[in-house]
Chains A and B, each alone.
Chain A
Amino acid sequence: SYELTQPPSVSVSPGQTASITCSGDKLGDKNACWYQQKPGQSPVLVIYQDRQRPSGIPERISGSNSGNTATLTISGTQAMDEADYFCQAWDSSTVVFGGGTKLTVL
């Protein structure tokens, strides 16, 4: 079965750039998306179709997808960006989620 691999945790200083990766076989050939989940809240879509932002998502959140890796990039990271982030793709008629990455803003 298809798998998506994320680092369990990423740390970043306020104002710096955070990058969270999601790896899977030929992931660049699929549509990847990303969700942000804060404690006690439902996941929120922040990137879809590799690099598209839903309305209301700030421009400092961006995405890319090539080869075997999709990347979520948060520029000028703020305390409010501290959350769990999950990548997701569709493969062989199934939804696959990455294991999630906890972003800590130090």
Chain B
Amino acid sequence: QLQLQESGPGLVKPSETLSLTCTVSGGSISSSTYYWGWIRQPPGKGLDWIGSIYYSGSTYYNPSLKSRVTISVDTSKNQFSLKLSSVTAADTAVYYCARHVSLREFDPWGQGTLVTVSS
């Protein structure tokens, strides 16, 4: 059974870079058909797609975040990562990683990790 687990600092200072890693277990990140995505959810609000990556490194980003986002993949570790630069309080959210099936639906999702932007 495929599982995803987010990891990284829970507190980031304003103007710094948020960095998270998603570790995939129970399956290979190099499987064809699947992309791997990051989604966030501010407290009490809806879902906001950040971007998705293929094992080859091909990426799609949310246009509204594209200038600040970098998603990368490490197939040797079965992991993919998110970097979001110049963060502000508006970037405070639960960050989820998920398998992105054929650039359609996300399934399954990780448990999520709360990242708070505060000095």
A residues contacting B by CB (< 8 A) are 1, 31, 33, 35, 42-45, 48-49, 54, 86, 88, 90, 93-100
Chain B residues bordering chain A, tally (CB within 8 A): 23
Q: Is B62 an interface residue when CB atoms closer than 8 A count as contact?
A: yes
Q: Give every chain B residue within 8 A of A86 (Cβ-Cβ).
A: 46-47
Q: Dominant SS at the B interface?
A: strand
Q: Is B63 an interface residue when CB atoms closer than 8 A count as contact?
A: yes
- Complex alpha-carbon distance, A30 and B104, angstroms: 10
Question: B30-42: contact bitstring with A at CB < 8 Å (1 yes, 0 no)?
Answer: 0000000101000
Q: Give every chain B residue within 8 A of A98 (Cβ-Cβ).
A: 46
| Given known A1-B63, A94-B60, contact A45–B107 (CB-CB < 8 A) | yes
A95 touches B62 (CB 8 A): yes
Q: Give every chain B residue within 8 A of A90 (Cβ-Cβ).
A: 103-104
Q: Give every chain A residue within 8 A of B110 (Cβ-Cβ).
A: 42
